[in-house]
Structure 1
Amino acid sequence: MSKVSPPTAPTVGFISLGCPKNLVDSEVMMGLLDRAGARLTGKPEEAEILVVNTCSFIDSAKQESVDTILEMARHKTEGRASKLIVAGCLVERYRDEIRKNIPEVDAVVGTGELESILEAAGVQQAPRPASPFNILTSVQAEVHLGQESLSGTHKAPAVRPTPARAEGDLREQQGRFTRDDWEGAAHMLPTYLYDETTPRLLATGKASAYIKIAEGCDHPCTFCVIPNLRGKFRSRRFESVVAEARSLVERGVQEITLIGQDTTCYGEDLGLKDGLALLLDELAKIEGLRWLRFLYAYPNRITGKLLETIAKHDNICKYLDVPLQHASASVLKSMKRGAGADIFLKTLDKVRAAVPGIALRTSFIVGFPGETAEDVKVLEDFVKAAKFDWLGVFTYSDEEGSGAFAYDGKVAKRTIESRKRKLMKLQQGISKEAKQQWVGRELVILAEGESEETPLLWEGRTQFHAPEIDGKVYINDFGDLEALEGGRFYRAEITEAHDYDLVARITSGPM
């Protein structure tokens, strides 16, 4: 009798778009596929199954997602791929339209259906290994920053009740999470949360990793549809996060970035007071963890205890990202954010007094409906006074389903772009002056690899640079070393400063 050969494991190509939270979702789905025996490739032309994990935060992100899906569809119609799966936020918003308008798509997986990737790809679940974490090589995924599965958590109730915050329950009563007008959107909001036993393939190299400590959002911001896409705010168990962090460090990870839509709400649904501060304090004790940071901080939840914890531990990065969105009280009121320039300046003073030398980052939205020239002047004066280390500016995106979509007073696109350019030019001058103060300082630098511009330069970061989003440190002098190793830490002296980037020479290491 002839022996029947087992089916060959499929080769899966993964393209991840969008924010770090989306990247963690991709790592989880890749981990599930890897554990089930699938082989991962970063070359779409080699893949039998293609997965695009999409973003739909603003119009430009949605367009990038659609363009990428169509590009991958060509590998199915003209190449070797036999299946195309679309995952992520775009699925939550346009589930039926994706199926209808892109017939090459075989299956869709929403933000709360990550485990459905196995059924969508046609591979079977496998027993859990001793360690759920594996380091993903650069050739296995491309990161850009059919029928719906029945096994997703949209349809299956959670094993245990999902905790909730009073604020979230109130927002739900007020209709914050409604998706009634979204054709094809599931009625039940996503409830999924991965845990420390969930497999992940890390796409961030051997030294750094993200940990998602919470999912969803309860805030009422009128410019944003993320709560509709990802559901109500929910925290992971304290012990689960700590266990995951310990496992990652045991695997060689030395930098951990905690992420969530609002990490400063962490633990409120679990009955924890100052939950983020408690979590940071516990994680900072892990031996071998060199850098620990978190993204993002909601301004009215920056407590004294949180700042005290940041200042207390040397391995907690002296870095705070506070997306303020605007400084005009009238615009912030329309955004349902509250506060204004004066209150924000007092908050920043409190932060700087509690944590001397801390790097501060923020982001703003210009062109929000009803924004006037006077509102922009308030914002510009605030930027001059605040002197942020890092600053990003988004142009308002009129998102259907957001509260602001129905607002009158829409600002012309040309005016919005002009306001953005002016604000960034203002910040450029502030940044240039501030970066000059870095020259001569000796700092610890994480070397990340050769520069994309030239192999003669290496790129790295200090604790004052978050992954991907801030300026770079270019290393043009290796000191006494013949070569550098990516993912290792070195001491370096800053020798030059430009508008946003720095130049350094290695003085010692690796550490």
Structure 2
Amino acid sequence: MDTPLGSVLYITLGCAKNEVDTDRMRSLLTAAGYEEAFDPQDADIAIVNTCSFLTSATSESIETTLELANEVQDGVRSCPIVMCGCVPSRYGDDLPDELPEVAAFVKADEEDGIVSVIDGVLGVERKIAAYIPQVKRTVEGAVAYVKISDGCNRFCSFCMIPYIRGRYHSRNAESIISEVRDLVAGGVREIVLIGQDTGIWGTDFADEDTAEASPRNL
């Protein structure tokens, strides 16, 4: 696709796991024909990937979104905002009424459908190519984070992760190794394995898999 369908501004808040999720959405949208913008005034649409594990993180996510809305409302071009990640996962159906400045909301576990969401907001009519969900994640630079799990089983009073991301679930070793190989082939030289609790990775696997399940074996 020679002419980009539009330019997308990416704003990521919170932890390294959100950076991984943004990388994934960027890779999907790039494969689908969108280019990246680095300034709100140059963007056709903006994605704000939010954090909400603490009250302060939620406040920062909402403030950042509203500041962006104020910045683009008087711009030369329209720049609708799509809010992704933890805030939509936590507050769900309450958000459209509370944040009319936002064009669409995407929960953390729905981010693989980001191409359809962006197409819908921008009025792009097409059938999404079947290959899109299989797009390989790409990053810039020599260091990359790789998620080995998501969710958490520790219901700490100050943290909302179990309610936002669900119970702890390990990613299977095959998919982790495949992603690492792709990243190394793309020029990455240092991989940082991340998760809410990397020390218990694999303990939720079936019994026959548990013996070989440890971060060291990865």
Q: TM-score range by the shorter chain?
A: 0.7 to 0.9
Q: Which residue of 1 aligns with 2:87?
A: 90
Which protein is bigger by CA-based radius of gyration? Answer: 1
Query: 1:101: how far off?
Result: 2.3
- The structure-2 alpha-carbon separation of the partners of 1:281 and 1:7, relative to structure 1 and needing over 3 Å to count, comes to closer
2:195 aligns to what? Answer: 260
Moved over 6 A (4+): none
Cα separation, 1, equivalents of 2:197 and 2:204: 13
**1:25 equivalent in structure 2:** 21
- How many aligned residue pairs are there? 207
Query: Does the aligned pair in 1 maintain the 2:149–2:169 contact within 8 Å?
Result: yes
Q: Note the C-alpha offset of 1:75.
A: 4.1
CA contact (8 A) 1:210 1:258 kept: yes
- CA shift digits 1:275-333 (9 cap, x unpaired): 224xx334xxxxxxxxxxxxxxxxxxxxxxxxxxxxxxxxxxxxxxxxxxxxxxxxxxx
1:215 positional shift: 0.9
Residue 241 of structure 1: aligned partner? 176
The aligned counterpart of 2:145 is: 210
Q: CA-to-partner distance for each residue in 1:213-267, whole Å, 9 max, x for gaps?
A: 1111112323321010001211111111111111111211111000111111211
The match for 1:126 is 129
Alignment of 1:269 with 2:207, yes or no, is: no
Residues 31 and 135 in structure 2, CA contact (< 8 A), matched pair in contact too: no
Distance 1:127 1:18 in 2: 31
Q: What is residue 200 of structure 1 aligned with on the other side?
A: 137
Maintained 8 Å contact 1:50/1:81? no
Change (3 A) 1:46 1:64: same
- Between the aligned partners of 1:263 and 1:81, the Cα distance in structure 2 is 42
Deviation at 1:57, TM superposition (A): 1.7
Match of 2:61 in 1: 65
- The structure richer in helix per residue is 2
Q: Is the Cα contact below 8 Å between 2:137 and 2:179 reproduced in 1?
A: no
Residue 103 of structure 1: how far off its partner (Å): 1.2
| Structure 1 partner of 2:156 | 221
| 1:107 corresponds to | 104
Aligned to 1:281: 217
RMSD of aligned alpha carbons: 2.2
1:74 and 2:70 matched: yes
Structure 2: distance between partners of 1:75 and 1:119: 26
Give unpaired runs (5+ residues) of structure 1: 1-5, 130-193, 283-511
> CA–CA distance in 2 between the matches of 1:71 and 1:52?
11
1:274 Cα deviation from its structure 2 partner: 6.1
- Counterparts of 2:55 and 2:191 in 1: how far apart (Å)? 30
Letter in 2 for 1:248: L
Taking CA–CA contacts closer than 8 Å with sequence separation of 6 or more, which of the two structures ends up with the larger relative contact order? Answer: 2
Q: CA deviation at 1:7?
A: 8.1
2:8 is paired with a residue of what secondary structure? Answer: strand
Aligned partners of 2:138 and 2:183 also within 8 Å: no
| Secondary structure in 1 matching 2:62 | helix
Instruction: Show the counterpart of 1:36.
Output: 32
Name 1:438's counterpart in structure 2: none
1: distance between equivalents of 2:193 and 2:100?
A: 38
Deviation at 1:12?
A: 0.7
The code of the aligned residue for 1:265 comes to: I
Q: Secondary structure at the match of 2:159?
A: coil
| Alpha carbons of structure 1 residues 247 and 200: separation in structure 2 relative to 1, 3 Å | closer
- Corresponding residue number in structure 2 for 1:335: none
Distance 1:103 1:219, change over 3 A: same
1:53 aligned to which of 49, 53, 68: 49
- Write out aligned runs for 1:280-359 (5 A): 280-282=216-218
**Residue pair 1:263, 1:276 contacting (<8 A) in 2 also:** no
Q: What do the CA deviations read for 1:454-481 (whole angstroms, capped 9, x no partner)?
A: xxxxxxxxxxxxxxxxxxxxxxxxxxxx
Q: Contact conserved, 2:138 with 2:186, CA < 8 A, in 1?
A: no
- 8 Å Cα contact 1:35-1:199 kept in structure 2: no
